[in-house]
Amino acid sequence: MTTPESVLEQLWAGVTPRTRVIFISHITSPTALTWPVAAICQRARAAGILTVVDGAHAPGQIALALSSLGADFYTGNCHKWLCAPKGAAFLFARPAVQHLIEPLIISWGWESEKPGQSRFIDYLEWTGTHDIAAYLSVPAAIDFQAAYAWDSVRRSCHALVAQARQQVNALTGLAPICPDTGDWFAQMAAMRLPPCDTESLKERLWQEWQIEVPIITWNQTPLLRISIQAYNDEADLARLIDALRHVGLHEPVAS
């Protein structure tokens, strides 16, 4: 697949008259690919199919406008790329489908009749004795990124990720998993590795080089995933490339 249109068509090939819900990641965790979620949601809505989008890696990494994305349900983490503390996340439900959501924990507000207030909020915003400090930090995280021109930061991070892809692929001699454009990846990217013991390689990078990076096997393919945030620079990338060369990654890595 090399175009968003081909992704949509391949996904739709699995849709049948029995399909009621499409669940998809906005940015996948193992492959770091950005999917054409808006087009998928639009086609699903036309077919009467609900959409549930896992946006764990999206807020703060890419521009996100839920009003125009078209998802029926969208959940996202704020502690990954938005720079809020762990425990900060959100659930969005389009007003027309909010009645389908029921809380796992029944607490204060259940079936109250507050004039003008959504029962969706009534049911879900209060879950008993729970520390809400992480949630309250999110506006400050948004303001912080706005104050420091985060669109520019994201572009710089993407450029460094693209450089990382090129250098790792040149080292391994393997083809990239997607085209080299911002449509496919933002601040993180996954690269193919030669046949190797992924756990052993990950352990060596940490023990010998103090580099912690996800290395997994996905669909029988070893992958290394690089994430670049504002605090990373070319020195970090150079250290990783040196480490990969040192462990002989241009050759099959033995167990």
Dump pLDDT digits (tens) for 127-138.
Answer: 777 788 999 999
Among residues 243, 241, 216, the alpha carbon closest in space to that of 164 is found at: 241
Q: CA-CA distances (angstroms) from residue 42 to 45, 48, 70, 176?
A: 5, 10, 6, 29
114: pLDDT confidence band, cut at 50, 70 and 90? low
For 189-218, how does the pLDDT look when each residue is reduced to its tens digit (9 = 90+)? 999 999 999 999 999 999 999 999 999 999
Rounded (5°) CA angle 55-191-193:
135
Query: What domains are defined for the chain?
Result: 4-147 (3.40.640.10), 150-246 (3.90.1150.170)
C-beta contacts of 82-85 below 8 A and 24+ residues apart = 82/138, 82/141, 82/142, 82/145, 83/141, 83/144, 83/145, 84/134, 84/137, 84/138, 84/140, 84/141, 85/133, 85/134, 85/137
pTM (predicted TM-score): 0.89
198/214 Cα distance (integer angstroms): 9
